[in-house]
Amino acid sequence: MKRLAVCIFLLVMMLPAGLKAEDFLGVPVIPEGKTTLKTESRLEMTATVSHDKVLEFYQQALAGYQDIKFRNWKDATYIEDDGNLSWHSITISKKDTEGVTIVIVKDNWTWIIGTLILRYIGVFVVLLLLMMGMSISGAIISRFSKEDQQPSA
């Protein structure tokens, strides 16, 4: 009886390893997909299933993550990670001519640095505009106050 229990326990413990789907950068890859391009930082696939099925697969696969944003565009659905995962985005095309194209892109430093530089420059542009507005309004107010302070004859 103990041997049977140990065998069942070992079988149950090994079962998830056999059922684990293939993944790329921690993102599960849809089983119906055929890989067209695979590099260290990019995976491109085509799937014969519909766009809605692929989207449903990724919605279920990424349900437990907090910083995932789904954007529905005209030609594609864009899934973006705003957190610290090793992948940056998943693009699912809506064109069904040759199948749905799925592109998974690795998070890279050029995108991160570019975003930070744009935000840094944006802050100074906003501050510059505020300073110009305050200078103009200060000049207008000082003119009116000078006219009020002049003695009237």
Q: Cβ neighbours of residue 36 under 8 Å, at least 6 residues apart?
A: 44, 45, 46
Q: Which domain holds residue 78?
A: 21-107
My answer on whether 116 and 135 are in the same domain is: yes
Give percent of the chain above pLDDT 90: 17
CA triple 56-59-64, angle to 5 deg = 150
Number of domains in the chain: 2
My answer on whether 56 and 116 are in the same domain is: no
Task: Give CA–CA dist 83/97, Å, rounded.
Answer: 33
The answer to whether position 12 is within a domain reads: no
My answer on whether 89 and 122 are in the same domain is: no
The answer to whether position 3 is within a domain reads: no
My answer on whether 37 and 70 are in the same domain is: yes
My answer on whether 63 and 120 are in the same domain is: no
pLDDT tens track for 56-93: 888 888 888 888 889 888 888 899 888 788 888 889 98
Residue 114 has pLDDT above 80, yes or no: yes
